[in-house]
Amino acid sequence: GSLLKDPKAFKSVIQIFASRYKEAQIDAVVALESRGFIFGSALAYELEVPLVLIRKKGKLPREVYSVSYGLHYGKDVFELEKSSLNPGQKVLIIDDVLATGGTSRAAAALVNQAGAEVYEAAFLIEIVNLKGREISPFPVFSQLELEGN
- ∠ CA 78-82-86, rounded to 5°: 115
pLDDT in tens, the chain (149 residues): 688 899 999 999 999 999 999 999 999 999 999 999 999 999 999 999 999 999 999 999 999 999 999 877 788 999 999 999 999 999 999 999 999 999 999 999 999 999 999 999 999 999 999 999 998 999 999 999 999 87
Here the contacts of 52-61 (C-beta below 8 Å, separation 24 or greater) are 52/28, 52/80, 52/81, 52/84, 52/85, 52/91, 53/81, 53/84, 54/30, 54/78, 54/79, 54/80, 54/107, 54/110, 55/79, 55/80, 59/33
**What is the pTM for the complete model shown?**
0.95
